[in-house]
Each structure stands twice: as C-alpha cells, then as structure tokens.
C-alpha cells in the first residue's frame, strides 16, 4: 500500500476524522491488524484563519505549498488537503509538489453523479459557498449547485467557525442547518454536499432531509482506493 499524505489542521477536528476514516477503510479492505501508511503535516489554523479574513490568499497559498512539500518529503505518494475551503488555492499547492493531489470536490462530484443526482445543495464556509473555485469545479462535472440565501449563509459560516471548529456541537445549530436544507430542497436541490469537513460532526445522514454527501469520507475512501491500486 502506498503512503497517503495528509495536509491538515484546518481544523484538527476534521483532520482527526480523516485519520480514522482512512484507517477504518484500510482495515475493512485488508483485514487483521492492517492500517494505512500515512504522512501528515498538521498546521496551526489560527494564523491561516486571520489570512482568510484579510483576504490574503496569496499568503495562504504560499504557506500551504510549503507545508505540502513537507508532506511529500515525509514520504507521501499522494496528497490530500483535508479542508474544502483551502481548495481555493489547490492549484498552487498541486503545482508545488511532484506527487498527485486528489481534489476533494472531484471525489465528491464523482459520487454524486454515480448516484444520479445533479442539483446539490452546497453548505460550507462563506468562501466555499460564495466564491467560484468550488462551484465551478462541480459545474465542470455536470452539477448545478444551489447555495442558501445571504442570512442562511451567514449562519452556516458562523456555526462552522464559532462552534464546529472548536469542538462544539449544538442541537439548535443542527435544527438551523436542517431548515436551510429544507429551503434548498424546496428550490429543487436533490442532495446535500457537506462542503466543509466539519459539517458531518453536526449533520448526519439520519438528520438530513436529503441524501448527504460527506466530503471527508469520500475523500478518505478515494485515497485508500488510490493507495491500494
């Protein structure tokens, strides 16, 4: 099995899910005491979050590209960026290393298309929902993403940064997310993309009125498949 490289810490709550999901999938496929060879660099999210607020994506791309090279130097054969939002600088990161990078939006889009869905409701940070870098990637795969209205986007974003990234899971926030999904379903959404890797800490398939696509789980599954091919 080849070594899976993880660039995480944004936030560490979801990076911990990646580690568990990759190893659970590996054990399910190989059995026994098998676990996945993983090389990981986990960054301090606080300085990067300040760069997000300042709009300094050049600085973010520069920092994460350097971190990606550390992952490669640690022996990784493939790179996963364990966050949806930071895929805004995915092209810069991919260009900084000599190993392939599995794009999170691509693995998600493949799963959605395989199940015959086409109009996903996209929930994530404000950057992921409002900017083009993620929705255009989905569009290139033939998907038409729907996003919440402004007030709902503000609440979805707030819950991610003020609660989920800090390990807080609140029933009232789950209810708020369910209302957002119900509104998008009324607009024609046929599924939901948990477009922030922390969202499934709050919203499970049983809690969601539409089929829910867990981007972290799909990314982790794709990584194991790649490492075992």
What's the sign of the alpha-carbon dihedral 66, 68, 73, 74? positive
Strand partners of residue 162: none
Contact between 175 and 200 under an 8 Å Cβ cutoff? The reply is no
Distance (Å, rounded) from C-alpha 54 to C-alpha 75? 33
Distance (Å, rounded) from C-alpha 80 to C-alpha 103? 7
Cα–chain center distance at 136 = 16
Instruction: Give catalytic residue positions.
Output: 83, 196
The one-character DSSP state at 2 is P
- Residues near 199 by Cβ (< 8 Å), separated by ≥ 6? 123, 124, 160, 164, 177
Distance (Å, rounded) from C-alpha 182 to C-alpha 176? 10
Token pair belonging to 7: 């660039």
User: Measured in Å, how far apart are the chain's first and last C-alpha atoms?
Assistant: 8
């Amino acid at each position: 099995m080849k070594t899976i490289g993880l660039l995480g810490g944004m936030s560490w709550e979801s990076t911990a899910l990646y580690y568990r999901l990759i190893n659970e999938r590996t054990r399910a496929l190989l059995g026994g005491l098998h676990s996945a060879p993983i090389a990981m660099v986990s960054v301090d999210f606080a300085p990067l979050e300040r760069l997000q607020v300042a709009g300094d994506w050049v600085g973010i791309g520069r920092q994460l590209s350097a971190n990606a090279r550390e992952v490669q130097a640690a022996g990784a054969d493939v790179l996963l960026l364990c966050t949806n939002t930071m895929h805004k600088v995915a092209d810069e990161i991919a260009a900084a290393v000599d190993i392939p990078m599995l794009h999170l939006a691509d693995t998600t889009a493949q799963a959605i298309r395989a199940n015959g869905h086409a109009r996903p409701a996209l929930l994530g940070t404000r950057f992921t929902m409002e900017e083009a870098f993620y929705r255009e990637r989905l569009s290139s795969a033939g998907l038409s993403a729907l996003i919440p209205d402004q007030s709902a986007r503000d609440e979805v974003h707030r819950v991610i940064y003020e609660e989920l990234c800090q390990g807080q899971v609140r029933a009232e926030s789950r209810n708020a997310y369910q209302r957002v999904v119900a509104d998008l379903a009324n607009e024609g959404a046929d599924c939901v993309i948990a477009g922030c890797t922390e969202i499934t800490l709050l919203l499970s398939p049983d809690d969601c009125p539409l089929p829910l696509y867990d981007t972290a789980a799909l990314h982790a599954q794709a990584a194991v498949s790649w490492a075992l091919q």
